[in-house]
Amino acid sequence: MATSLPPPTDFPEGRADLPLTVAGEPPRLRADAERNRTRLLEVAADLIAQRGIECLTMDALAAAAQVGKGTVFRRFGNRSGLLFALMDHHERLFQAAFISGPPPLGPGASARERLRAFGSATIRHERAYGNLYLAAHEDVIRRYEAPAYRLRIAHLSLLMREAGVEGDRELLAHTLLGYLETPLVRHLTTDLGMTPERLEAGWDALVTRLFGPA
């Protein structure tokens, strides 16, 4: 279910509350159904950790969770739906961290500090769940249209406005997020052997260019 967000430039002056948003969450479930769904997602995450994402199938999940295949198909529809549900689960936790978690990623630090922390946290997040994000977003355009991506755009735009950055902040937010895209992070770290620390230092350099020296 896509959640509509206002364009970042339309947020009122002052603090704006950003709602947690996901890419394909089903309607709200009963408490017991939600617990069962969460358990299936946890089992699916364990399967990926143990065998790799290519081994995650609806049959494998049903067997590992000791439930009927019909239960898995009714809950997620198909493998694509399962991948999106897993991605949404991890994305929700990440969103909670940068929206309402402790500083410097969450509120309580300066906009500059939060922007620095956002880059480092995103790089680590994309590395940890890169296979999942790549599998769920084989359609690149769909990734850009996802509410979760638009929430990141809104968050960066707000931080830049709070910091007094001039110009088209929404467009600049898209440019900054390009540095943190899953395929690029995967290519730089896996194919080129760059360390996460080097990527985080590069992000800090971008923030310095944007804000000027501290």
What is the CATH superfamily name and number for domain 79-214? Tetracycline Repressor, domain 2 (1.10.357.10)
Residues contacting residue 65 through CB under 8 Å, at least 6 positions apart? 39, 40, 43, 72
Q: Could you tell me where in the chain the CATH 1.10.357.10 domains are found? A: 79-214
Confidence class for position 22, pLDDT limits 50, 70, 90: low
Q: Could you tell me where in the chain the CATH 1.10.10.60 domains are found? A: 24-77
Q: Which pLDDT belongs to residue 205?
A: 94
What are 211's two structure tokens? 């804000």
24-77: CATH number: 1.10.10.60
Q: Which pLDDT belongs to residue 64?
A: 96
- Rg (C-alpha) for the chain, rounded Å, is 18
- Mean pLDDT of the region 74-78: 92
The reported pTM is 0.76
Q: Which pLDDT belongs to residue 13?
A: 40
Report pLDDT digits (tens) over 148-186: 899 999 999 999 999 889 899 999 999 999 999 988 999
Residues contacting residue 23 through CB under 8 Å, at least 6 positions apart? 2, 84, 87, 88, 91, 136, 146, 147, 148
Q: Which pLDDT belongs to residue 179?
A: 95
**What is the SS3 string spanning 130-176?**
HHHHHHHCCCHHHHHHCHHHHHHHHHHHHHHHHCCCCCCHHHHHHHH
